[in-house]
Amino acid sequence: MNSEIIKKISELAEKYSKFSAENLSAIVKIPSLSGEEKIVVEKIRNLCFENSFDEVKTDGLGSLIARIGTGKRIIAIDAHIDTVDTGNLAQWKIPPYSGLIADGYVHGRGSVDQKGGAAAMITAGKILKELSFDRDFTILFTFTVMEEDCDGLCWNYLIEKEKIVPEFAVITEPTNLNIYRGHRGRMEIEIYFEGKSAHGSMPEMGDNAIYKAARASLLVEQLNEKLRTDDFLGKGTVTTSEIVSQSPSLCAVADMAKIHLDRRLTAGETKESAIAEITDILKNIPHKIVVPVYDRISYKGTAFSQEKYYPTWKIPVDSPLLTSAAKTYRELFKEKPVIDKWTFSTNGVAICGKHNIPSIGFGPGNEIFAHAPNEKIPVSDLVRASAFYAALPYFL
């Protein structure tokens, strides 16, 4: 039966190639920065209604949930539909919100990261409805918000507030059509240093907080070289990404300084271990460590805060989900998939990293275009991705 289903899915995904590209073009044309996703959510809601999804609703935070099936087993297929800003418009050859379809690509901000995944999900749902999907699965296509600002926040809300707990999840961030099974975690760390102000003409009378921050940054640089490595996920890293200071005037010794650290966490590293390392290297420099909290209000006016700690995750090579995904890929595309990992962070930090729900990544588009000018995605990737999302439930 699977071979016949695979044949039909492949044919329908190709048949709906233009449908996928035009839907992606339409949602690329709608700017949707984090916290400002209302209009694009409404557009995707209408597309799901028009294509006969069984149920379409938004959660309390503002993410859209489109359901197909009523089975006992729940699988979630996720795309965040917020984007980063455009950056320097002079670097764009084609306007970032044009949604231009040309030369086999859809162009524009968010086409790769990651509205392309969202468009392919809509097509996958259309295919499943046309096939009268009847397996014992409830498939939740989740179009989530605020990921670019705070990865995983939307899924912490879905799991902790909405009590939606899938058995498996597929993250449709760009993977260049490879199958990913994890990525490093990350956290943000702020370190504060106190000083004592004095007139700039008499610096010896004060205690310059900037010098403490500078010495601390050099120690952070040395720490980066000593962090642990994982055979699959790679090395943990830490870097000073910002330094700010405060003084009564530019003619005075700084009485406060702060450095901001970007910490990437490999397997075995946690928030506690990362903070312990910083505490140790700064034992001779008075300081205060803070893990900042994200507390922006969503477009629905909902407050849901989260500490800026995003746990590492990976699933085993013999995971049933990964095995099923690899078989789906081989049956659809008649070739062996590449199993790899993301360099950047995704909603997987919450789904799998925090809540231990087995997850994989499979998404259209090349990661190198994420957050970059001249973002574009091959229409052929949308075809393959929509086929994969529709076929996977038949192999689980």
Instruction: Name the 3-class secondary structure at 232.
Output: coil
The answer to whether the CB of 69 falls within 8 A of the CB of 80 is no
User: What is the domain count for the chain?
Assistant: 2
Say whether both 380 and 350 belong to one domain: yes
Q: Tens digit of pLDDT for each residue in 185-223?
A: 999 999 999 999 999 999 999 999 999 999 999 999 999
Answer whether residue 266 is part of any domain. Answer: yes
Domain boundary among the residues 294, 320, 339 is at 294
> Is residue 1 pLDDT above 70, yes or no?
no
The answer to whether the CB of 157 falls within 8 A of the CB of 59 is yes
Domain boundary among the residues 233, 260, 294 is at 294
Say whether both 212 and 333 belong to one domain: no
230: annotated active-site residue: no
> Is residue 140 pLDDT above 60, yes or no?
yes
Say whether both 49 and 113 belong to one domain: yes
Answer whether residue 300 is part of any domain. Answer: no
List % helix, strand, coil for the chain (3-state, nearest 5): 35, 25, 40
Looking at residue 3, its pLDDT comes to 87
Strands 237-246 and 179-180: unpaired
Say whether both 229 and 254 belong to one domain: yes
Say whether both 196 and 334 belong to one domain: no
Looking at residue 65, its pLDDT comes to 98
Q: Tens digit of pLDDT for each residue in 81-138?
A: 999 999 999 999 999 999 999 999 999 999 999 999 999 999 999 999 999 999 999 9
Answer whether residue 171 is part of any domain. Answer: yes
Answer whether residue 299 is part of any domain. Answer: no
Say whether both 169 and 191 belong to one domain: no
Distance CA 13, CA 383 (A): 5
Looking at residue 126, its pLDDT comes to 98
The 105-107 sheet, strands edge to edge = 101-102, 105-107, 376-378
Chain-centre distance of CA 277, in angstroms? 27
Residue numbers of the domain that contains 65: 2-183+312-394
Say whether both 225 and 142 belong to one domain: no
Answer whether residue 306 is part of any domain. Answer: no
> Is residue 153 pLDDT above 80, yes or no?
yes
> Is residue 54 pLDDT above 60, yes or no?
yes
Q: Tens digit of pLDDT for each residue in 263-299?
A: 999 999 999 999 999 999 999 999 999 999 999 999 9
Say whether both 110 and 243 belong to one domain: no
Say whether both 105 and 213 belong to one domain: no
The answer to whether the CB of 373 falls within 8 A of the CB of 184 is no
Answer whether residue 303 is part of any domain. Answer: no
Looking at residue 307, its pLDDT comes to 97
Say whether both 76 and 121 belong to one domain: yes
Say whether both 36 and 136 belong to one domain: yes
Tell me the CA distances in angstroms from 223 to 186, 210, 240, 323, one per residue in order: 16, 20, 11, 38
Distance CA 216, CA 311 (A): 25
Instruction: Provide the CATH number for the domain around residue 29.
Output: 3.40.630.10
- Give the bridge partners for 138, in sequence order: 74
Q: Which of 37, 78, 147, 381 is catalytic?
A: 147
Instruction: Provide the CATH number for the domain around residue 233.
Output: 3.30.70.360
Domain boundary among the residues 294, 328, 344 is at 294
Distance CA 129, CA 52 (A): 7
- Give the bridge partners for 313, in sequence order: 183
Q: Which of 82, 151, 207, 375 is catalytic?
A: 82
Answer whether residue 225 is part of any domain. Answer: yes
Answer whether residue 239 is part of any domain. Answer: yes
147: annotated active-site residue: yes
pLDDT band per the 50, 70, 90 thresholds, residue 2: confident
Say whether both 198 and 167 belong to one domain: no
